[in-house]
Structure formats: C-alpha cells, structure tokens
C-alpha cells in the first residue's frame, strides 16, 4: 500500500519535471507552442469532463463559455484596460454565462440537455459573428500583448508554456481533489441514480448546477489562455466544431477519468497540428482514430490502456502463480 503510494508520488514528480524541462529540451519553438496548446485544451477538456464524465451531462455548448471569456479579454484590452481587470472580468462574465446556461439547460437531462446546450452555444457564436460593433465579426479581435505577471514577460513561447503549465497543474490538482471529495461522490451519484439520490436527501438540481459552474470556470480559464496564446479571437474558436472537438477529447481519452481528457486533448491537438502538415485530409485521420478508439477501447484511451496492462499482467502472472486476481474497481 505505502509502496504504491510512493510509486505514484514518484511518477507524478517525474511527470512534472518532464513537463517543466520539455520546452527547453525541444529546440523548435513550433513544438513548444503545440505543447502549450495541448495544455490549454487539456484544461478545457478537464472542465468538460466534470459534466460529461462525472455528472453524466453531455454539453455541446462549452465552446461558447470558452468564447465568452476569450472575447471579454480581447474587448477590454482593446478598450485600453489592464490585463488583471480583463482576466477577472472574463472569468466573471463566463461564470455568469455558465449560470444562465445551467439555469436553462438543467431543466432537462439526456438528449434534451445536449440540444439546449447546443442552441445556447450557437447563440454565443451568432453574437460573436453578427454583433460586429462589439466583436468585429468575422475579422475577430487582435490582442496586442500578453501579460507579465510578477514582471516576467510571457511574450516568448517558453515563458508562456511555463505559465500555461502552472495553470494546467493547478487544474489537474483541483480536479483530483474534486473527484475524491464528498461533493464529487454526490455528483457521480446523481449521474448513476438521480431518483435515488433525491430520495436520499440530495438536492440533485443544485448539485448539477455547481458541477456546471466548476466546469464553466475551467472552460473560461482555458478561454483566457487561448486568447493570450493566439493573441487573436474570432468566431471560429467558439463554433460548434470547437465544442465537438472538446467532447472528442474527453470521450477519446476516457470520460470520468482524471487523465483521460488530458490524453484526449494531446491526441486531438497533435492530429490537428502535426499530422495536418503531412496529411491533407487530417479531419479524416481524426475521424478514423476516433472510430478505432470506439471499436477497440470504447471506455477511452486511458481506462482502455489500463485494462490492457492489467490483462497483460494477469496473463503473465498466471503462469507463475495461481493467486486469484480481483478486478480493480473503476473510479
């Protein structure tokens, strides 16, 4: 028991060191930027995973929440306000939008919930596209500079990567605490047996509402990082395809697992950016990979790989001893 905890802590430490050293080991700035993109989309996917994986509510409007935060940053910076104000206002605005989304869409679950979130996401996209006086329409808004927290300029690819990494690690830590908490257990309960949870004294609606808010907050954080990463925002970033890509990340990596969304984000970003340089129809590639995952690892890459490793150990272990192996419980 203590050994496995030590091994786990060691693995986490190695992973963090590797992530910190990574941009300095890679010579090309292009790949450092890809790594930043993976991390910021991983934050987005972690947020979406709270809803999809733990609350059992599939949202197709999350790019809208991501977009509200990005646009508020871009708008306020263009209007001459400082970075701190822009970021705080962006997170606040996105949380308010999330509350509105939740109030409207939590009247339903299942397919109806998906359709309402889709409609709401499309409304935000429509505003970004058509409300030209505010958003500059299809031309988008350019952000002149990145912030310099504690006097450290983030204008270079490597400092920006490190800043994104810090936010990413905080998001992973927050998610892992959330998952093991009583509230996390209550949320999973509302996913599996909402009627029973109500009978046990839980306020199912309010639990789902707070799940939406946590999810929306992480989406907003990712949106802020996104607008600073690109130094540009246009309606394209909050189109339906962006929401669908987020879902793809969560489901391909493994919904309801901590690391699944991170792996899924890496997969989607790499296919989108790296593979597209070699294969013209990279969308086709992404689709083919997704189909393969659904066929061979329907539970997602992370739980699927864990299953393969387990069965491999069981197969090799059986030859040496006949000790019974109890199946590990899925988190």
Partner 1 sequence: MSALVINNLSKSFGGLRVTRNVKLNVEPGERRLIIGPNGAGKTTLFNLITGELAPDAGSVSLFDRDITRMASRKRTHLGMARTYQIITLFARDTIQHNVTLALLGLSPLRWNPVAVLGRQSHLAVAARDALRRVGLEQIAERPLAETSYGERRRVEIAMALAQNPKVVLLDEPFAGLSIDERQDVRKLLIAIPREVTIVMIEHDMDVALDLADRITLLHFGEVIVEGTRAEVVADPRTREVYLGE
Task: Choose among 55, 43, 15, 19: nearest CA to 265.
Answer: 43
Q: Please tell me whether residue 5 binds partner 1 under the rule CB under 8 A.
A: no
Q: Residue 245 CB, nearest distance to partner 1 (Å)?
A: 27
Q: Residue 28 CB, nearest distance to partner 1 (Å)?
A: 40
Q: Which is nearer to partner 1, 210 or 232 (CB)?
A: 210
- Backbone phi and psi for residue 323, each to the nearest 5 degrees, phi listed first: -60, 135
Q: Which is nearer to partner 1, 241 or 331 (CB)?
A: 331
Q: Residue 248 CB, nearest distance to partner 1 (Å)?
A: 24
Q: Residue 256 CB, nearest distance to partner 1 (Å)?
A: 10
Q: Residue 113 CB, nearest distance to partner 1 (Å)?
A: 21
206-235 mask for partner 1 (x: CB under 8 A)?
A: ----x---x---------------------
Pick the stretch among 145-153, 158-166, 191-199, 294-302 that binds partner 1 (CB under 8 A).
191-199
State the sign of the Cα–Cα–Cα–Cα dihedral 283, 220, 209, 260.
positive
Q: Which is nearer to partner 1, 151 or 201 (CB)?
A: 201
> Element (H or E) spanning 259, and its range?
none
Choice from 195, 319, 323, 324 touching partner 1 (CB under 8 A): 195
Pick the stretch among 7-15, 155-163, 184-192, 234-242 that binds partner 1 (CB under 8 A).
184-192
Choice from 19, 129, 189, 282 touching partner 1 (CB under 8 A): 189
User: 143 by DSSP, 3-state: which?
Assistant: coil
Buried b / exposed e across 173-192, counting CB within 10 Å, b at 16+? eebeebbeeeebebbbbbbe
Task: Choose among 69, 171, 59: nearest CA to 117.
Answer: 59
The count of C-alpha atoms lying within 13 angstroms of the C-alpha of 137, restricted to the half-sphere facing its C-beta, is: 4
162-181 mask for partner 1 (x: CB under 8 A)?
A: ---------------xx-xx
Q: Please tell me whether residue 200 binds partner 1 under the rule CB under 8 A.
A: yes
Q: Residue 310 CB, nearest distance to partner 1 (Å)?
A: 15
140's torsion region: left (phi>0), alpha (psi -120 to 50) or beta?
A: left
Choice from 31, 129, 183, 282 touching partner 1 (CB under 8 A): 183
Q: Which is nearer to partner 1, 32 or 55 (CB)?
A: 55
Other Cβ atoms less than 10 A from the Cβ of 57: the count is 24
What distance in Å separates the CA atoms of residue 146 and residue 83, rounded to the nearest whole number? 8
CA dist 250 to 43, 59, 266, Å?
A: 11, 11, 11
Q: Please tell me whether residue 311 binds partner 1 under the rule CB under 8 A.
A: no
Q: Which is nearer to partner 1, 155 or 193 (CB)?
A: 193
Pick the stretch among 126-134, 140-148, 160-168, 202-210 that binds partner 1 (CB under 8 A).
202-210
H helix intervals, the chain: 2-25, 29-49, 62-78, 83-105, 110-130, 132-135, 157-180, 182-192, 194-199, 204-230, 240-253, 260-270, 276-278, 282-296, 301-320
Choice from 32, 58, 116, 197 touching partner 1 (CB under 8 A): 197
Q: Please tell me whether residue 281 binds partner 1 under the rule CB under 8 A.
A: no
Task: Choose among 242, 264, 255: nearest CA to 62.
Answer: 242
User: Rule CB under 8 A: which residues touch partner 1?
Assistant: 177-178, 180-186, 189, 192-193, 195-204, 210, 214, 327, 329-330
């Amino acid at each position: 028991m203590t050994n496995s905890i030590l091994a786990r802590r060691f693995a986490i430490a190695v992973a963090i060191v590797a992530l910190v050293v990574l941009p300095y080991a890679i010579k090309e700035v292009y790949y450092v930027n890809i790594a930043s993109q993976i991390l910021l989309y991983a934050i987005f996917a972690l947020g979406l995973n709270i809803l999809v994986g733990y609350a059992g509510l599939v949202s197709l409007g999350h790019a809208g929440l991501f977009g509200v935060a990005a646009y508020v940053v871009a708008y306020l910076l263009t209007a001459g306000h400082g970075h701190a104000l822009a970021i705080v206002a962006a997170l606040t605005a996105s949380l308010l939008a999330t509350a509105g989304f939740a109030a409207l869409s939590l009247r339903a679950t299942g397919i109806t919930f998906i359709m309402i979130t889709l409609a709401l996401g499309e409304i935000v996209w429509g505003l970004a596209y058509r409300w030209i006086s505010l958003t500059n329409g299809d031309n988008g808004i350019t952000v002149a500079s990145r912030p310099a927290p504690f006097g450290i300029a983030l204008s270079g690819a490597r400092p920006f990567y490190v800043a994104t990494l810090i936010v990413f690690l905080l998001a992973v830590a927050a998610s892992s605490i959330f998952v093991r908490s009583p509230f996390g257990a209550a949320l999973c309960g509302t996913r599996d047996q909402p009627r029973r949870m109500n009978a046990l004294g839980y306020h199912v609606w309010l639990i789902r509402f707070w799940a939406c808010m946590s999810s929306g907050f992480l989406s907003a954080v990712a949106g802020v990082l996104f607008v600073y990463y690109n130094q540009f925002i246009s309606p394209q970033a909050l189109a339906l395809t962006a929401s669908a890509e987020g879902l793809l990340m969560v489901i391909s990596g493994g919904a309801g697992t901590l690391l699944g969304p991170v792996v899924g984000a890496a997969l989607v970003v790499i296919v989108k950016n790296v593979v597209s340089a070699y294969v013209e129809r990279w969308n086709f590639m992404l689709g083919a990979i997704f189909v393969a995952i659904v066929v061979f690892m329907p539970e997602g890459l992370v739980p699927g790989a864990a299953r393969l490793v387990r069965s491999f150990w069981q197969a090799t272990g059986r030859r040496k001893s006949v000790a019974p192996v109890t199946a590990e419980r899925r988190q």
